[in-house]
Structure 1
């Protein structure tokens, strides 16, 4: 066989090997589907795209991200994840609470601090977050990958308020979460569960007089346009969770499981940087966008009048969740005490 023939034969073998390798990669590569509850550029969207970026840079897989409304409301995307239609979902405990009652713990007012450094340390070090919650989610067919904070909760109303008495007769929108309803009942308001898609119109028509959300969401959703009085009550942070359909996750190879974990860790670290200073930026945009906006930051004496009503919500949480919820609450408090004592 002459050299040219040898070369052609080797080239043919190489081409076949390359084709076989490409086919194998095509079979092993997959498009994973990931839905979240927010708009383009919001915190959950940034997290999802950081996750996507890591996966696609470190594997043959791709990730398709669906934003709020593309596949329905929060309840819809959770149902699709549990059914295996979606592989990943980002949903706050505000909605997951109907599925996992213990997840409502984040809505006990004045349980979590509001300074970012302490909040981040808590999420990094908490046994409740990193050990107890994954077990609770697992029981519902979900692989909890990350819980992370988004921002301090801010109340918006149709007029200024500094006390629970100012909340009297105010219909305040809450997520479909029984404990959050208990919180605003304790605060003196009339809690009104509504899906997110109806909130702007309900505020605009005075069907409701207020709502709560992190400040970046109030800005991106334009809520300040129809509910211009912002009240910083200091009662907690908005928390969310990124999870996978457990059957899907368990069916992954060990390498892909590690990839998903590493991508989640990467997105988590990126999001902590992203939210640092985000609230101040969003508030500046709101104030620039409207002359009608007022900002009220309650002082410690005013906060205390709300904080005194928190035990009512704690009692309701334990009533809803029993001994398991009580143990989780004790662990939460122990974790917070450890972090705050550092």
Structure 2
């Protein structure tokens, strides 16, 4: 009897240690989250915020590992990795999704939004959600839109004060037909190039200039290789957080909700952070030696006119009904009928 009790006690102790060891060895579900800018950029700060929110909301059961500076590849490469299930999540430009879902070209139309309030209303409303939903049939899950901001021009050749000054400037643009055609129409030599290659291209003068929001110009240190900045606010540029549908469908409803809620929180954080930084970035660029020119409204109007055929092409591609929906939301935000 004593021997049996000792054996039972030993077995119980073994089970107890085994259960403890198992509990200790349970690993959190790892989520690889890629993005293109540097870690100290607005994109990097928001990615860290998202990772912290996911850890907090999941009690550590979900762990987001962030990869900045395009270490997992440029946006198109990461998008393909998501579709194939080789990567879980990313945030990147909506412009590089146009080849996947053509309707995303609507966000690239020049001079469409007058301010951030209009952009928020459209992107967070039914029209923005409609486009997010279209990603699922292509193997992606669209979660939220972040803000890149209004885009402006820089170059190393000369001041751009008039629409005609763009003539012949070799300008890097995103690998997106609307951006390429818009700047070709303006007379520039539009060169599609991955963002990760841009600084070197500017430094070696393989291209004369580029166009991005103030915050990106600062965080990427383009002021080191660019002399002239022209304020045009020609396109409002959103980012989009996406997930691999192959991976997403394997998550539990609770896990999906945690990620959605954390994504919404990160969107609000990122927009506030980006807008606060943008307000300071222009002064910083001046302090860093950039020659800043604000393009006069009549010259901006010329650029808008030159871009009109491109806008018409986008409308023909995405469909008049979608264009009308976007315009209706903008008018509603402006308080007009």
TM score, norm. by length of structure 2: 0.89
5+ residue gaps in structure 1? none
Looking at structure 2, the residues matched to 93 and 116 of structure 1 have their Cα atoms a distance apart, in angstroms, of 16
Aligned residue in 1 for 2:3: none
Give matches, 1:156-195, under 5 Å.
156-157=154-155, 158-195=157-194
Q: State whether structure 2 residue 56 is matched by structure 1 residue 57.
A: yes
- Counterpart Cα distance in 1 of 2:279 and 2:142: 30
Superposition deviation, residue 238 in structure 1: 1.6
Q: 1:21 to 1:205 in 2, by over 3 A?
A: closer
Residue aligned with 1:44, SS: helix
Instruction: Please tell me the root mean square deviation across aligned C-alpha atoms, in Å.
Output: 2.5
Distance 2:250 2:127 in 1: 27
How do residues 190-209 of structure 1 correspond to structure 2 at under 5 angstroms? 190-209=189-208
Q: CA deviation at 1:72?
A: 2.2
Equivalent pairs, count: 327
Matched-pair contact (CA < 8 Å) for 2:121–2:329: no
- Matching residue of 1:338: 332
1:98 shift after superposition: 2.2
With the length of structure 1 as denominator, give the TM-score of the two structures. 0.87
Q: Distance in 1 between matches of 2:272 and 2:85?
A: 32
Distance (Å, rounded) in 2 between the aligned partners of 1:173 and 1:203 = 9
Residue-by-residue CA offset, 1:210-268 (whole Å, 9 max, x unaligned): 11011111111121222221111121222110011012112211110111111101111
Per the alignment, residue 226 of structure 2 pairs with 227
CA deviations 1:128-151 (Å, max 9, x no partner) are: 112x11222112110000112221
Distance 1:32 1:57 in 2: 14
Do the aligned partners of residues 13 and 203 (structure 1) sit closer, same or farther apart at CA in structure 2, a change above 3 Å counting?
Answer: closer
CA distance in 1, matches of 2:23, 2:134: 40
Could you tell me how far apart the structure 1 residues matched to 2:294 and 2:188 are? 19
SS at match of 2:230: strand
Aligned 8 A contact 2:34 2:70 in 1: no
Confirm or deny: 8 A CA contact 1:127 1:335 kept in the other structure: no
Determine the C-alpha separation between the residues in 2 that align with 1:217 and 1:325: 32
Alpha-carbon deviations, 1:126-174, whole Å to 9, x = none? 32112x1122211211000011222110111221112221111111111
Corresponding residue for residue 147 of structure 2: 149
| Aligned residues of 2:83 and 2:246 also touching (Cα < 8 A) | no
**Residue 107 (structure 1) aligned with residue 105 (structure 2):** no
Task: Work out the CA distance in 1 between the residues paired with 2:242 and 2:221.
Answer: 28
Which shifted more, 260-269 or 154-163?
154-163
Whole-angstrom distance in 1 between the partners of 2:195 and 2:187: 22
1:96-116, CA deviations, whole angstroms, 9 ceiling, x for partnerless residues? 222222212222111122x33
Q: Distance in 2 between matches of 1:143 and 1:313?
A: 29
Q: 8 Å contact 1:31–1:61 — kept in the other structure?
A: yes
8 Å CA contact 1:234, 1:303 repeated in 2: no
1:66 aligns with 2:64: no
How far does residue 21 in structure 1 lie from its aligned partner after superposition? 7.7
Structure 2 segments unaligned to the other structure (5+ residues): 1-5
C-alpha contact (below 8 Å) 1:153/1:237 kept by paired residues: yes
Whole-Å separation in 2 of the counterparts to 1:148 and 1:64: 19
How far apart are residue 20 of structure 1 and its match? 8.2
- CA shift, 1:280, in A, is 2.6
1:21 and 1:265 map into 2 onto residues whose CA distance is 34
